Amino acid sequence: MKMATISSTISWKTIDLPVLASIEKTTDARELAHENWPKWASGSTQFNRVLAYSLPADSRLHSTLPSINLTALLTERIDMKDDPNIYNYNIYLVAETTSGKLYQ
């Protein structure tokens, strides 16, 4: 029997978040001011806050890109359709390449 292969629709996308340079190589979570949110979050009325933190070098999370730094964005999103648990939390990885570009 032949197995069908399904390609992933997920891909790394370039992002521009200069604020991440201020938290590189720290493990402190920092809440980002609304003007520093990624465009996909700042354009939504559901996001309540976005926090960013760098992952320790010995973290078990690894990028498939040649990277020098991994940062995580933690988002808090409010969705009334999920009542009574209206708060939703998601983690998004941001990888910095050796050339200094950021990908999410």
- Asked whether residue 18 is domain-assigned, the answer is yes
Q: What does the angle CA 9 – CA 38 – CA 40 come to, to the nearest 5 degrees?
A: 50
Query: What's the pLDDT score for residue 47?
Result: 92
Range of the domain at 75: 14-103
Residue 97, CA atoms < 13 Å, CB-side half-sphere: 12
Q: How far apart are CA 101 and CA 36, in angstroms?
A: 17
Residue 1 pLDDT class (50, 70, 90 cuts): very low
Answer yes or no: is 29 within a domain.
yes
- Residue 1: inside a domain, yes or no? no
In the predicted model, is pLDDT for residue 6 greater than 50? yes
pLDDT score of 17:
80
The reply to whether 31 falls in a domain is: yes
Residue 49 confidence (pLDDT)? 93
State if pTM tops 0.95. Answer: no
Residue 6 lies in a domain: no
62 inside domain: yes
Whether the CB-CB separation of 94 and 73 falls below 8 Å is answered with yes
- Is residue 3 in some structural domain? no
Amino acid identity for residue 101 in this structure: K
Q: Token match 């973290």: residue?
A: 59
Q: What is the pLDDT of residue 8?
A: 57
Instruction: Report the number of distinct structural domains present in the chain.
Output: 1
Instruction: Give the C-alpha distances (Å, rounded to integers) separating 72 from 54, 78, 80, 83.
Output: 6, 19, 25, 27
28-67 residue pLDDT tens: 788 889 998 988 888 888 899 999 887 665 655 555 555 5
**Is 2 inside a domain boundary?**
no
